[in-house]
């Protein structure tokens, strides 16, 4: 159902380095790139994550209540992504663990403060 998700950035180069390292844990690579955005994916037809400088030229801001949830595939990948995000400067917004029965997740933020969830069910 989801084709792609976009989060804003004020520093495309810095955001690019963050997501290259973080999404590399899942085998994602850059699949689209311009001077305004970078998109990562795992293959043709798979959903993408894009970081983008806002089209209106105003500063990117974090949406209160907005979060991107990335399906990690395995509990080990949830842990690895959380640890990678922390290594890259992302804060601990909720350490890996079971939540709501079969939901295993962890929470951090990217270099611009966008909230991320890494999960499996």
The answer to whether position 59 is within a domain reads: no
pLDDT of the residue at 74: 97
| pTM metric for this prediction | 0.91
Mean pLDDT by 10 residues, the chain (121 residues): 92 97 96 97 94 95 93 97 97 96 97 96 95
Please write the tens of the pLDDT for every residue from 68-96.
999 999 999 999 999 999 999 999 999 99
pLDDT of the residue at 89: 96
- Domain residue limits at 112: 4-54+66-120
The answer to whether position 61 is within a domain reads: no
Which CATH number goes with the domain that contains 43? 3.10.180.10
Residue located via tokens 């907005």: 66
The answer to whether position 108 is within a domain reads: yes
CA atoms within 13 A on the CB side of 42: 13
What is the tally of structural domains in the chain?
1
pLDDT of the residue at 33: 97
């Amino acid at each position: 159902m989801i084709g792609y998700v976009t989060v804003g950035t004020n520093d495309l180069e810095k955001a690019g380095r963050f997501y290259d390292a973080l999404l590399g844990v899942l085998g994602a690579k850059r699949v689209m790139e311009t001077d305004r955005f970078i998109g990562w994916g795992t293959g043709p037809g798979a959903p993408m994550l894009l970081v983008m400088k806002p089209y209106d030229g105003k500063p990117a801001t974090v949406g209160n209540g907005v979060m991107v949830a990335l399906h990690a595939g395995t509990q080990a990948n949830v842990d690895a992504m959380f640890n990678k995000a922390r290594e890259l400067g992302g804060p601990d917004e909720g350490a890996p663990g079971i939540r709501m029965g079969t939901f295993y997740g962890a929470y951090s933020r990217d270099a611009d403060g966008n909230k991320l969830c890494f999960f499996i069910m």
